[in-house]
């Protein structure tokens, strides 16, 4: 999640078209000296704005490298366009200073106009030939350095045209993010209990969003897709997107991409398969050729042939990795107790003589995969949950802080054992006050 919060300003990077940024106060043009329509960014902006923009630009030209001027947005969805002339790499010197001037001067104009949000393209990295990595470093460093002086600008967006540029920006933002505290939030028992929201949970999530605190919602569910959880949260007024739901399938696809690339044999409900993203699935009838055998909560679909196929896959050479989506033993269904993931994993471990990698709370690999998504080190992360073992102890063993809430499955006896939470809150409603007291904000 490429979002950084510095001095109450959020800095994000997205892939898209700079001429299609509705809701943003000003977009920035990577202009030419004469402020004419050209190719790339300038072409796209002038095409979308219509001929009125070129007319308004005329008297303002020419501009020098590093300079910025402002016009209206004409037919664009934005009130303003700020035109900057980036340096031509290898010609205009000192290139780094001139490029930094573009970002600084554009932000200066945005402040004068009282603009709250501004979107930049990757100035000079197209026709002007500035190497993207170098230009990205200058762009981000400049805007971060400017944030203490910003009074009206609250959102800075970098709009990248291709996947490669987006990755460069995401990595650079990730590095800047290091040291920003992040939060992992257990869902059931913390934000809601059954079908009822915990009082104050909506306000706390709004506070997290408002303060740009990086966070993920963490669940051990592998029987319901992330989209169902997003819908459930929406029923409580909590609006989020699937990217923020971190579940064992999401962790597994991320972890397997580096630890066991290749085809995965998935023993999970059909609806959950979409959660595995780009992970390549082995043919559902194959009995060999898997890099990993992934066991989720298959419920009533477990039959002898299904379980035996998993066993045969594990016995094939080269041996695949056995991956468990959590190690819950059983759960309470409407008609009584039901077997969960662990008994089937144990049977397979026993038969195939192997040990499963567990990707679900409280395993360290699971928490690590979540922190990877947030670009956060364990020492900078906090987990909040209602399960003293699965949430608090699991988080502490992974090097994070663990907060216990007195809601959900919490029982007073939880505090009499050996596990000492870093904080105990009556509910998640108390988190903002605790955070302001206890967490060093960047």
Q: Which of 57, 95, 122, 431 binds ligand APR (CB under 6 A)?
A: 122
- Determine the Cα–Cα distance for residues 424 and 253; give it in Å rounded to an integer: 33
31-39, 321-329, 391-399, 425-433 -> range binding ligand APR (CB under 6 A): 31-39
36-44, 50-58, 375-383, 404-412 -> range binding ligand APR (CB under 6 A): 36-44
- Determine the Cα–Cα distance for residues 207 and 399; give it in Å rounded to an integer: 25
Compute CA distances 167 → 219, 245, 247, 257, whole Å.
27, 21, 24, 17
3-state secondary structure 46-77: HHHHCHHHHHHHHHHCCCCCCCEEEEECCCCC
SS3 39: coil
- Determine the Cα–Cα distance for residues 240 and 102; give it in Å rounded to an integer: 34
43 lies in the binding site for ligand APR (CB under 6 A): yes
Q: Which C-beta is closer to ligand APR: that of 3 or that of 166?
A: 166
What residues numbered 78-97 form the site for ligand APR, per CB under 6 A?
A: 86
Beta pairing, strands 80-84 & 68-72 = antiparallel
123-131, 167-175, 209-217, 413-421 -> range binding ligand APR (CB under 6 A): 123-131
Phi/psi for 160 (5° steps) reads -105, 145
63 lies in the binding site for ligand APR (CB under 6 A): no
Q: Which of 28, 44, 49, 190 binds ligand APR (CB under 6 A)?
A: 44
Taking the complex as a whole, how short is the minimal distance between the CB of residue 165 and ligand APR, in angstroms?
6
35-43, 202-210, 235-243, 282-290 -> range binding ligand APR (CB under 6 A): 35-43
DSSP secondary structure code for residue 261 in this structure: -
What residues numbered 153-192 form the site for ligand APR, per CB under 6 A?
A: 159, 161, 165
147 lies in the binding site for ligand APR (CB under 6 A): no
19 lies in the binding site for ligand APR (CB under 6 A): yes
Residue with tokens 């669940």: 219
User: How big is the site for ligand APR, counted in residues (CB under 6 A)?
Assistant: 24
- How distant is the alpha carbon of residue 441 from its chain centre? 19
Q: For binding to ligand APR (CB under 6 A), which residues are involved? A: 17-19, 30, 32, 38-44, 86, 121-128, 159, 161, 165
């Amino acid at each position: 999640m490429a979002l950084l919060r510095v001095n109450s300003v959020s800095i994000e990077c997205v892939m898209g078209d700079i001429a299609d940024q509705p809701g943003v106060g000003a977009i920035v043009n990577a202009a030419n000296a004469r402020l004419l329509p050209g190719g790339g960014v300038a072409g796209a902006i002038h095409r979308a704005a219509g001929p009125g923009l070129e007319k308004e630009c005329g008297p303002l030209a020419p501009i020098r490298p590093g300079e910025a001027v402002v016009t209206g947005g004409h037919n664009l969805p934005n009130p303003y366009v700020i035109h900057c002339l980036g340096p031509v790499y290898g010609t205009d010197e000192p290139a780094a200073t001139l490029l930094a001037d573009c970002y600084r001067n554009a932000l200066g104009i945005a402040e004068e106009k009282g603009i709250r949000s501004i979107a930049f393209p990757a100035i000079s990295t197209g026709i002007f030939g500035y190497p993207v990595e170098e230009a990205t470093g200058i762009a981000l460093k400049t805007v971060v350095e400017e944030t203490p002086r910003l009074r009206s600008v609250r959102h800075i967006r970098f709009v990248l045209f291709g996947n490669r540029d987006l990755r460069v920006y995401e990595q650079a933002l990730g590095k800047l993010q290091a040291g920003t505290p992040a939060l992992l939030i257990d869902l059931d028992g913390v934000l809601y209990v059954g079908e009822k929201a915990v009082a104050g949970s909506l306000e706390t999530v709004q506070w997290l969003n408002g303060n740009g605190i990086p966070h993920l919602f963490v669940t051990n569910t592998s029987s319901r897709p992330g989209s169902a959880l997003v819908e459930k949260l929406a029923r409580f007024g909590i609006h989020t997107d699937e990217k923020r739901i971190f579940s064992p399938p999401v962790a597994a696809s991320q972890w397997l991409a580096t630890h066991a690339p290749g085809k995965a044999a998935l023993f999970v409900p059909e609806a959950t398969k979409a959660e595995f993203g780009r992970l390549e699935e082995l043919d559902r009838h194959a009995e060999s050729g898997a890099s990993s055998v992934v066991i989720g909560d298959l419920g009533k679909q477990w039959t002898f042939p299904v379980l035996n196929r998993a066993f045969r896959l594990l016995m094939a050479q080269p041996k695949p990795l056995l991956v468990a989506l959590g190690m819950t033993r059983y759960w309470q269904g409407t008609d009584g107790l039901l077997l969960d993931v662990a008994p089937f994993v144990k049977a397979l471990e026993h038969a195939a003589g192997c040990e499963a990698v567990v990707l679900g709370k409280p395993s360290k690999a699971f928490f690590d995969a979540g922190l990877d998504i947030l670009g956060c080190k364990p020492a900078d992360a906090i987990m909040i949950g209602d399960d003293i073992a699965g949430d608090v102890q699991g988080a502490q063993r992974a090097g994070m802080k663990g907060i216990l809430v007195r809601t959900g499955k919490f029982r007073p006896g939880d505090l009499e054992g050996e596990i000492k939470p870093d904080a105990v809150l009556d509910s998640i409603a108390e988190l903002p006050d605790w955070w302001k007291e206890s967490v060093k904000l960047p």
